[in-house]
Amino acid sequence: MAVTWQIATVVSIRRETATARTIVLRIPTWRGHIAGQHLDVRLTADDGYTAVRSYSIASSYDAATSDAHDVELTIEQIEDGEVSPYLVTHLSVGDSVEVRGPIGGWFVWRPQQTEPIQLIAGGSGIAPIMAMVRASTALVAEGAIAPLRLLYSVRSPATAIFAEELRGLDARNLVEVTMVYTRGGPEGWPRRIGRVDAADIVVACWPPDASPTCYVCGPTAFVESAAGLLVEAGHLPDLIRTERFGSV
């Protein structure tokens, strides 16, 4: 798809957590995307004022399916934000928005990549990471799965997006998931509560000698901290790809 503005229609909406929801957009001209890419969304007010924000595509693409023209965005509402509260609380099925994409060629996972993959997500940074998980695990039937590990940091169990889907994939040994809770864990949680630290990287991630490609996504400070911990643990900077979502 050329990167020009297109009209997308909201065809369904799923609530993920109290503050996040997935919006399924139908884009008739959609020709597919690579896991990890994003879209720009443009909103225009009645007075002509426009606001543009980027949102990662959380769904994987399969041209053979009937929903090949549908793209899923998973959006976390930022308090006092200009655009995300509208997308999370006001946008309804049948509404239209302008979108431009797919965009991005570095923070992507391609099916040809069979090396170990280390995924690290903070909060809504799980969106493009989930596209990678879904794209990779969809290939299981063809025996072409890349070994995936995911370190997912959230404030509490209630704020974990895609928690059930991830538990199911973990139970089937399709992705090894380690959760990190920064404010409070589930009842009886045996691990430390707090931000991702060096010990989490050693315990939950592929070791540097497995040469995993690492994908780190989330709020800027989270990404910088996690990428720094990977380098300190011995991972090569060239194998670390990052996507920063915002200033906090």
Ligand X SMILES: Cc1cc2nc3c(=O)[nH]c(=O)nc-3n(C[C@H](O)[C@H](O)[C@H](O)COP(=O)(O)OP(=O)(O)OC[C@H]3O[C@@H](n4cnc5c(N)ncnc54)[C@H](O)[C@@H]3O)c2cc1C
Which parts of this chain interact with ligand X (CB under 6 A)?
38, 53-56, 74-76, 78, 80-84, 124, 127, 219, 243, 245-248
Distance CA 227, CA 244 (A): 11
**Sequence-distant contacts of 49-56: CB under 8 A, at least 24 apart:** 51/82, 51/83, 53/83, 53/84, 54/103, 55/127, 56/127, 56/128, 56/131, 56/217, 56/243
Residue 141: CB minimum distance to ligand X, A: 28
Rank residues 145 and 163 by Cβ distance to ligand X and give the closer one.
163
Rank residues 145 and 227 by Cβ distance to ligand X and give the closer one.
227
Residue 207: CB minimum distance to ligand X, A: 29
User: Are 57 and 37 within 8 A, CB to CB?
Assistant: yes
Rank residues 102 and 206 by Cβ distance to ligand X and give the closer one.
102
CA dihedral sign of residues 17, 116, 104, 243: positive
Residue 200: CB minimum distance to ligand X, A: 21
Rank residues 53 and 235 by Cβ distance to ligand X and give the closer one.
53
Residue 48: CB minimum distance to ligand X, A: 18
Q: Nearest to ligand X by Cβ — which residue?
A: 81
CA dihedral sign of residues 221, 42, 135, 126: positive
Rank residues 80 and 164 by Cβ distance to ligand X and give the closer one.
80
Residue 106: CB minimum distance to ligand X, A: 11
